[in-house]
Chain A
Amino acid sequence: MRGVSRSKMPKPPRRWQTFALLIIFVSYVAATVWSWTFIDMTLTTLFGGFSDLWNLITYMLPPNFDNLPTVIEATIETVWMALIGTFVSVLLSVPLAFLAARNTTPNSVVFAIGRAIITLARAIPTLVLAAVFTLALGIGPLAGILALALHSIGMIGKLFTEAVENSEEYSREAVLSTGGGKWKTVVATIVPQVTPAFIGTALYRLDINLRESAVLGFVGAGGVGFVIQTELRGLDYQRAISAVSVIFVVITIIEIVSTRLRASIIGDSLAKPGRVTERSKKREAKDQRMIIDAVTTRQLTPPMTYERKLRAMMGITFLVLLVTAIITIEMPVISSFGLLDDVWRSILRLFPPDFETAGADLWRGIAETLAIGFIATTLGLLISLPLGILSARNIMAKKFVYSTTRLFMLGLRGLPELVVAVLFVSAMGLGPVPGTLALTVGTATFMAKLIGDALEEVSSAPREAVFATGASGIQEFFSAVLPQALPNLVSQTLYMLDVNLRSSTVLGIIGGGGIGFLLLSALRVLEEQTVGAIIIVIFVIVYAIELLGSFVRWIVE
């Protein structure tokens, strides 16, 4: 099949695009102003909030590590939950991806169902799933694992599907022509191509799931979140912070390891040395000898080169970890199918959804959720600008300034934002303000890093041109640096808004305001059909945001 290459014609700038952007900007500002008044946010509450936080910090220090054995045990459980949850999600996503990829799907019905499952999974937050599953599975890690596994399909399935669709088709057609048959051909030609992308995605999701897994305990679904919550309820802040710091360290370490691993897997070779050393030279020579031996003796198994050894070792390590996890968690591998039946029945009890009981509260919950998302994004953005500039190496002349700023941000980013939120709630009491502030901090640190990085990347040529005219540092920033980084800034803001609105749907579960609060109360009194209604509302919110996001992105691009 000769693909007729339809190269995209460069689009001429359209007036309606500018117009649409203007409308979007105005509505964004209007939404923020409305949000501000809706949740009675004032500068006084804001600064009052910060002073409460300061108090909290003084309560928390010094940390009290008396509870370390419990904390470590709970943290390990958190890690195992993330590992098993991610693994199960990968198991489910692999077939799903091939059924939902345009180029491998058997027919359009399967295609549509596959896509729908992926979208559905993505739009229901892990914490919500976990809360519902505890109804069927009881308190404990099983509900958490199932929630992680199902929600992750949304991202893993999507990225796997994209990898399959991006694989090249020449080899597939060639092997199909040898009489291989459809699925045999797919396994022989597409699977080897997508394996690195699959592993990379899985590792990436493992990072995210570890953070999610740390807060699942808030709804009784296992892990360290439960310890944090118990200590906070008992107002033992010094012990709570010991649990927080342990999970922080673990998250950071695993993130570093998985980033390294991903880099080398995507770089396509595990064994490729960063630099040539005596040892790497020797290793390569040995590999060469092994390969030559293997082909001259017509050896029928591939030689165990260094690369293959590394891969085998990684595979074995993973298997050992997985088995350890399953044994430690006491996961009922065999009987879990019976449990699935319980889960299914408890899901059915959510239907038909009951929108009546919650009534007007539902609307209030929706409005509050949106308000939290908008304020957090705008505030976070405003704070991130100075923070980002402070952290940019090429703009801040003083090393002390940018490195302290970076370190501070790194620390805050290392904590899952719901952990931050639960701390804020316990400092300021229930309500939307602590939730908003927690999301604000998350947004500010995330955006500040992006801004710092972007500023460092911005080419220096225009800066010098402006400098040469004798402009001051600040003038220079606004006239030369900012315009270059602006398009990226817009799309990142959009992304943050998406993330924050998603988070604000669950903040209420830990007392941080928004529709999640209704969910929690309905769960407490076992009004299952109301729970069903709320979940549908959450789904609609998240899905609408996603559609809106891709619409705006379409306009911008």
Chain B
Amino acid sequence: MASSNSGERVPLIRLAGVSKRFPNGTLALDNVNLDVQRGELLSLIGLSGSGKSTLLRHLNGLHQPTAGEVFVEGLNVSKAKTSELRELRRNIGFVFQLFGLVGRATCLENVLTGALGRLRGPRYGIWSYPKQMRREAFEHLDRVGLASQAYQRADTLSGGQMQRVAIARSLMQRPKIMLADEPVASLDPESSAQVLELLLRVATEENMTVIVTLHQVELAVGWAKRIVGLRDGQVVLDRGATGLTQHDVMDVYRRVDHESTPKPSFAAENANLTQLAQTQLQK
């Protein structure tokens, strides 16, 4: 991994003219150019099908671009070998909408799977992980407030708790970058706020770079410092979150056929979260 001693000039993440056409012909990304600096808190917004998930998946090599190049931590993801990809993924936490926990395994075991990249050989069951790692996993569960559920099966948890376990699993990787694809889309508002707050807290504590895709603009504005809007695979908005107006966002949510335009009204609704975000960031 090339570390960027040269400061903020070399961006941590760079997408240069990235396009992605799926085998079935869908053009999911259309000439995307995007630089993300170390420590940024960025939120991707856009309608369903605009390419948010596809973009995130290019960053850890789950997808390969059909045109253009993707650089992450100096590695050209689009040309990386399998072993380099594995190395890259080890440094990137990825949080999914549907959590991706093994339901039949305990929470502790689920967190431990985050350490697989550091270990040689397959592991099955808590016993197969070194003691030191189990201790570490416990600590991460503590951080997300679920140490008391350590020996409970993951499928007995609530959605919000599952997502927190998934975050603990990512922390087990000690990642520099955290990607979250609609981490709260399956959650009720209260759990959503909890999960987003947690993401923010660990991001600031670890000085992580975070990209979160969010369906709701008000959550995105309350959470991130920078907002990037996608429409039909193109970047149509890229600016700071503060002072973002309804008008700025209109463009992102305009459908091609102009048939319906959802009216995002976010300014006041999530004042709590916005406030929380700002106080956190000032620290």
Is A295 among interface residues, defined by CB-CB distance under 8 A?
yes
What is the chain B residue whose CB lies nearest that of A300? B134
Interface bin, chain A? 35 or more
Given contacts A173-B100, A184-B116, A192-B102, list 19 more A-B pairs with CB under 8 A: A170-B99, A171-B100, A174-B101, A175-B113, A176-B62, A177-B92, A177-B94, A178-B113, A180-B113, A181-B116, A184-B119, A185-B116, A187-B122, A187-B124, A188-B116, A191-B124, A195-B104, A302-B106, A302-B126
- With both beta carbons as reference points, the residue of chain A lying nearest to B141 in the complex is identified as A295
Residues of B near A183 (CB, < 8 A) are 122
Q: How far is the CA of A177 from the CA of B170 in the complex (A)?
A: 9
Q: Within B150-193, which residues are at the interface with A (CB < 8 Å)? A: 150-152, 166, 169-170, 172-173
Residues of A within 8 A of B100 (CB): 170-175
Name the A residues within 8 Å of B126 (CB-CB).
301-302
Is B264 positioned at the interface, with any CB of A under 8 Å from its CB?
A: no
Interface size class of B (residues with CB under 8 A): 35 or more
Q: Does any Cβ of B come within 8 Å of A189's Cβ?
A: yes
CB–CB A188/B151 < 8 A: no
Considering the chains assembled together, what is the distance between the CA atoms of A187 and B105 in angstroms?
12
Within 8 Å by CB of B147, from A180, A191, A295, A303, lies A295
Whether B98 and A170, one on each chain, are in contact in the complex, defined by CB atoms closer than 8 angstroms, is yes
- Interface of A toward B, CB cutoff 8 Å: 2, 170-181, 183-189, 191-193, 195-196, 291-292, 294-296, 298, 300-303
B20 at the interface (CB under 8 A from A): no
Whether, in the assembled complex, B239 has its beta carbon less than 8 Å from a beta carbon of chain A, the answer is no
Interface pair B138/A298, CB less than 8 Å apart: yes
Does B135 lie within 8 Å of A300, measured CB to CB? yes
Give min CB distance, B210 to chain A, whole Å: 15
Q: In the bound complex, how far is the Cα of B160 from the Cα of A456, in angstroms?
A: 45
Query: When A191-B124, A295-B147 are in contact, do A174 and B60 touch as well, CB less than 8 Å?
Result: no
List chain A residues, Cβ under 8 A from B90: 178-179
Contact with A along B117-161 (1 / 0, CB 8 A): 101011110110001001100100000000111111000000000
**Shortest beta-carbon distance from A99 to chain B in Å:** 15
Shortest distance between the CB of A420 and any CB in chain B (Å) = 42
Q: Is B87 within 8 A of A174, CB to CB?
A: no
Chain B contacts of A302 at CB under 8 A?
Answer: 106, 108, 126, 151
Identify which of B99, B117, B119 contacts A174 (C-beta below 8 A): B99
Shortest C-beta distance, B152 to chain A (Å), equals 8
Residues of A with C-beta under 8 A to B99? 170, 174
CB contact between B148 and one of A172, A189, A295, A303 (< 8 Å): that residue = A295
Partner of B127, one of A172, A184, A301: A301
Checking B53, B121, B148, B170 against A184 with a beta-carbon cut-off of 8 angstroms, the contacting residue is B121
Query: Does the CB pair B94–A171 fall under 8 Å?
Result: no
Q: How far in angstroms is the closest Cβ of chain A from B90?
A: 3
Decide yes or no whether B96 CB sits under 8 A from chain A.
yes
Name B residues whose Cβ lies closer than 8 Å to a Cβ of A.
53, 60, 62, 86-94, 96, 98-106, 108, 113-114, 116-117, 119, 121-124, 126-127, 131, 134-135, 138, 147-152, 166, 169-170, 172-173
> Assuming A298-B138, A302-B126, is B121 touching A176 (CB within 8 A)?
no
Q: B124 to A192, Cβ gap below 8 A?
A: yes
Chain A to chain B: the 3 pairs with minimum beta-carbon distance, closest first: A174-B100, A179-B90, A179-B117
Q: Which of A171, A180, A295, A296 contacts B102 (CB 8 A)?
A: A171
Answer whether A2 and B113 are a contact pair too, CB < 8 Å, given A175-B100, A178-B89: no
Query: Is the pair A300, B122 in contact by a Cβ cutoff of 8 Å?
Result: no
Given A170-B96, A184-B116, A188-B113: A176 and B151 interface contact (C-beta under 8 Å): no
A291, B148: Cα distance in complex, Å:
9
CB contacts (< 8 Å) of A173 on chain B: these are 62, 96, 100
Closest to A291 in B: B151
8 sampled A-B residue pairs with Cβ under 8 A: A177-B62, A178-B90, A179-B91, A188-B113, A193-B104, A195-B104, A295-B149, A298-B135
Q: Which residues of B sit under 8 angstroms from A2, Cβ to Cβ?
A: 53
CB distance from B128 to the nearest CB of A (A): 9
Query: Who on chain A is nearest to B123 by CB?
Result: A188
**Distance to closest chain A CB from B226 (angstroms):** 23
A177 in contact with B104 (CB, 8 Å): no
* A188 and B102 within 8 A (CB): yes
Chain A residues with CB below 8 A from B124, complex form: 187-188, 191-192
Query: Who on chain B is nearest to A4 by CB?
Result: B24
Instruction: Determine the distance from Cα of A185 to Cα of B114 in the docked complex, in whole angstroms.
Output: 10
CB distance from B137 to the nearest CB of A (A): 9
Residues of A within 8 A of B106 (CB): 302
Tell me the bound Cα distance from A74 to B96 in angstroms. Answer: 57
Contact B60 A187 (CB under 8 A): no
Distance in Å: Cβ of B255 to nearest Cβ of chain A? 19
Distance in angstroms between the alpha carbons of A196 and B103 in the assembled complex: 13
User: How far apart are the CA atoms of A179 and B89 in the complex, in Å?
Assistant: 5
Q: Is the beta-carbon distance between A179 and B88 smaller than 8 angstroms?
A: yes
Q: In the assembly, what is the distance between CA of A371 and CA of B67, in Å?
A: 64
Q: Are A178 and B122 in contact (CB under 8 A)?
A: no
> A298: which B residues are within 8 A, CB to CB?
135, 138, 147
Nearest CB of B to A144, in Å: 32
- Inter-chain CA distance A370–B17, complex, in Å, is 66
A188 to B121, CA, bound (A): 11
Q: Which chain B residue shows the least CB distance to A294?
A: B151
User: How far is the CB of A30 from the nearest CB of chain B, in Å?
Assistant: 47
Report the nearest A residue to B96, measured CB to CB. A174
Contact B148 A178 (CB under 8 A): no
Contact residues in A for B172 (Cβ distance below 8 Å): 178
Query: B123 near A178 (CB under 8 angstroms)?
Result: no
CA distance A173 to B149 in the complex (A): 24
| Nearest Cβ on chain A to B144's Cβ, whole angstroms | 14
Q: How far is the CA of A154 from the CA of B251 in the complex (A)?
A: 59
Q: Which residues of B contact A192 (CB under 8 A)?
A: 102, 104-105, 124
Q: How many Å lie between the Cα of A181 and that of B121 in the bound state?
A: 10
Residue numbers in B under 8 Å from A177 (CB-CB): 60, 62, 89, 92, 94
A186, closest chain B residue (CB): B122
